[in-house]
Chain A
């Protein structure tokens, strides 16, 4: 709707580990080179599941920001902020709640999932149910069109799109919309106006998606439009309503999975993490004592890299020659596990 804008956030979990670094932060650093970016510490989100443990939130937020900066986020390119310090998020979440059917929230796959997984606490709360709605407010309030997320979050972004569509459908109505939209088209100037009309017709009469895309690009390239006119022109392409909250896209990037030292998901609370800024001696100790393929009890037992937590590290950190050496050595028992780790 406007220029490209990237938005993403993380719950404050304190110091980041290499899973955060390879799974998200490196990607953020890349994105800030090309787009306007906003990244926030999701402290309200932390309370949706950890409402009984608020003690660590603030300290965790500051530790997390240091690691974002250490990863290379550049404050002159990326806006870094704290969710709860921009109270408008709560206002929008409240307002979106007026028109969001409860069933939409109950159907979110992670809702029941997480309730079962985190069975040590009571998550039959209003805040936990409404969490995807708050996430919707986080995104929509910046009219961000690109939302880098992990696979588990794609369904949330899809829900946000539905909420935006519903919002625009209900609140994008406007008295005299068609006349106002036509007047806005004229303001594009005769050449662009003609092009806009051609593309709009191509989409509306023939369902030409490429034409819709091209028309949106045309509007994005047009700088001197009043906000109301911009919303009308976007809305007029598809129908008879203003687009107040544009639908975001999940930006699913191929990130390497970094399992923890024991092969489980890397997490500080499982004690299986290598921190992003780990003491070098500690890195050595942690990797040396990592678990390997359980089938390799003796040095002479052949193994399977796919069953070994060290293998994903090779996939991230080693070149092809080393990886070939590892696969061959491991599966034929040509090398021992310690050799492999030190490779």
Chain B
């Protein structure tokens, strides 16, 4: 991929190579989400729903404590 091999034979761990190597699995993991954006939408929709459930538990207590319980 690079042409420096013969110029700098002692090179073992180029910063450039290290970055490219580090990013390879990131590219790989991203691919299926790039191919099918609905996967991401679904993950986030599930996440929002779960977050809302947890938030609601706290809000029941907060509303009650602040005098806003009507049930």
- A interface residues, Cβ below 8 angstroms from B: 18, 21, 38, 40, 62, 65-67, 69-72, 75, 79-82, 85-86, 88-89, 91-92, 95, 98, 140-143, 171-172, 227, 231, 242, 244-245, 274, 276-278, 280, 283-284, 287-288, 310, 313-314, 317-319, 322, 339, 341-343
The CA-CA distance from A72 to B23 in the complex, in Å, is 12
B20: chain A residues within 8 A (beta carbon): 280, 283-284
Is B15 a contact of A341 with CB atoms below 8 Å? yes
Q: Which residue of A lies closest to B5 (CB)?
A: A342
Is A88 a contact of B15 with CB atoms below 8 Å? no
Is B29 a contact of A89 with CB atoms below 8 Å? no
What is the interface of chain A mostly: helix, strand, loop, or mixed?
helix
Is B55 a contact of A342 with CB atoms below 8 Å? no
Q: How distant is B67 from chain A, measured CB to nearest CB, in Å?
A: 9
Residue from B8, B19, B59 with most neighbouring chain A CB atoms (10 Å):
B19
What is the interface of chain B mostly: helix, strand, loop, or mixed?
helix
Contact with A along B4-20 (1 / 0, CB 8 A): 10001001111110111
Q: Which residue of A lies closest to B43 (CB)?
A: A75
The CA-CA distance from A288 to B19 in the complex, in Å, is 13
Given A65-B43, A92-B59, is A283 in contact with B23 using a C-beta cutoff of 8 Å?
yes
Q: How distant is A29 from chain B, measured CB to nearest CB, in Å?
A: 11
B43: chain A residues within 8 A (beta carbon): 65, 69, 75, 80
**Could you list 9 examples of A-B contacts with CB < 8 Å?**
A80-B47, A88-B58, A89-B55, A141-B58, A143-B58, A171-B62, A287-B15, A314-B15, A341-B14
Q: How distant is A177 from chain B, measured CB to nearest CB, in Å?
A: 12
The CA-CA distance from A322 to B10 in the complex, in Å, is 10
Q: Which residue of A lies closest to B33 (CB)?
A: A66
Instruction: Decide yes or no whether B30 CB sits under 8 A from chain A.
Output: yes
Contact of A81 among B27, B40, B51, B65 (CB under 8 A): B51
Is A72 a contact of B44 with CB atoms below 8 Å? no
B59: chain A residues within 8 A (beta carbon): 88, 91-92, 141
Q: Which of chain B's residues 26-65 have a Cβ closer than 8 Å to chain A?
A: 26-27, 29-30, 33-34, 37, 40, 43-44, 46-48, 50-52, 54-59, 61-62, 65
B57: chain A residues within 8 A (beta carbon): 227
Q: How distant is A279 from chain B, measured CB to nearest CB, in Å?
A: 9
Contact of B66 among A67, A95, A280 (CB under 8 A): A95
Is A288 a contact of B16 with CB atoms below 8 Å? yes
Instruction: Decide yes or no whether B1 CB sits under 8 A from chain A.
Output: yes
Contact of A343 among B11, B22, B55 (CB under 8 A): B11
The CA-CA distance from A64 to B12 in the complex, in Å, is 33
The CA-CA distance from A284 to B47 in the complex, in Å, is 37
B16: chain A residues within 8 A (beta carbon): 283-284, 287-288, 341-342
Is A317 a contact of B22 with CB atoms below 8 Å? yes
Is B54 a contact of A342 with CB atoms below 8 Å? no
Contact of B8 among A89, A141, A342 (CB under 8 A): A342
Is A227 a contact of B61 with CB atoms below 8 Å? yes
Contact of B58 among A72, A142, A172, A276 (CB under 8 A): A142
